[in-house]
Structures are given as C-alpha cells and as structure tokens.
Chain A
C-alpha cells in the first residue's frame, strides 16, 4: 500500500461548490503539506502543518482552508471553488529526522472547476 494516499484522484466540480480533498499517510510523519501544481508555475505551497495543533499558511492560502484531524490525516477544502483553482493538488509528508526534512508526496488529485 502507498505511504501517502489522496482521495479523490480526479474531481470535476462547478464554480461555487465547496469541495474537500483528503490526504492520509502511514509513514508516521508529523509534518504534512498541501501544494498545487500549475503548468509553468511549478509547485506552490498552500498550507502546512507541523503537528495536529499547528497549522500555517503557505504562499497561496486564499480561498483554501485545511483541517488536521489526526497525525495521519490532513484535508484541504475549497470554500467556493473557482475556475482558476483548476490544478493538480499534492499532499506531502515529512519528518525532521537528523536535521534533514525530506518530503514524500502523494499521487495527486486532479481538480477541474467548470
């Protein structure tokens, strides 16, 4: 089984709808992240969490919210989806072991907002 899973893998929704993307991990890592990937723009950080009680905004958090339900689960919500939120969304986890913080990524969720 994959260490970092994301559901759904693909989603098509309409403008104005609220949508939740879910991420689960079995790696036992404390740190979790949400990124979006757009062509030509690379990966951009939306939110990150260093433990269950610690949530931080990334560089592009407007229009998004997150919930860290447990160490293993980190959900991303789009409050009212808009077309420019169409992108590939990645969840990642990491564990600062020995001063090295390598991030491990899930398979991604392809979101299309019509």
Chain B
C-alpha cells in the first residue's frame, strides 16, 4: 500500500516569512492533492498536481510535483495568520482516481 510522509510535522513561522512543506510518497503518484484544515474543521481543497514537473499557484501558495512523481512541495510566500492550520497531502496511487491515501499533516502556526 502507498504511504505518504509529510515533513515537518509542525512549523512555527513569523508573519511575513516563507516556508515549505514536503510530501514524499513510497510509490509513484498518479495525482497529488493538497488540502488545508483549520483546527477541528473540514478540509479545504487547495490544488491538485498530476504531471511530473507540474507547478500550480493559488494566491501565495505554490505547489510542485517533482519529475519522478514521488514528492511534492508546498511553498507559502510571505506567510500570514490566515495561513495557519493543518496542511495535508493526499495521493492517488492507483491511477484510478478513486481512493486517496493521506499524509498525517503538517501543523502550521504563524506568529505576529
């Protein structure tokens, strides 16, 4: 079965700083999804990557999928308190776009 490892597990950054979260898969990724979760609430879809080398941006958040399609990174530029939450990556490892495997999440705190 596919496993996803996220790093770091938690992160505290000062407002205005940049940060990167990584998601590494044990198998080739057919699709990689990034979600954000506010504490104790539902998951909000951020973006999805399919092709090796693909990069997408949404506001100040950029995600990339490496060429070998086994690792993705999420980069936040000039962090704000609104970026605080838990970031989860989810992977489609079967190519059927049916079931997702999720990482354990990265907890981000943004201090003033």
Contacts and interface: CB of A to CB of B under 8 A. Distances in A.
Interface of A: 4, 31, 40-45, 48, 50, 58-59, 88, 90, 92, 96, 99-108, 110
Nearest to B100: A103
Contact of A42 (B31, B40, B97, B105): B105
Interface of B: 1, 4, 31, 33, 35, 40-45, 48, 50, 88, 90, 92, 97-100, 102-105
Given A100-B50, A102-B45, A103-B45, 13 more contacts: A42-B88, A42-B104, A43-B90, A45-B100, A90-B43, A102-B48, A103-B33, A103-B90, A104-B45, A105-B43, A105-B44, A108-B41, A110-B40
Nearest to B4: A42
A75 B99 CA distance: 18
A103 B40 CA distance: 18
Nearest to A107: B42
Secondary structure of the A side of the interface?
A: strand
Given A42-B104, A42-B105, A100-B50, A108 B42 contact: yes
26 contacts: A4-B42, A31-B98, A40-B104, A42-B88, A42-B102, A42-B103, A43-B43, A43-B88, A43-B102, A48-B98, A48-B99, A59-B1, A88-B40, A90-B43, A92-B43, A99-B97, A100-B50, A101-B31, A101-B92, A102-B45, A103-B45, A104-B45, A105-B35, A105-B42, A106-B42, A108-B42
Contacts of A45: 99-100
A42 to B, nearest CB: 4
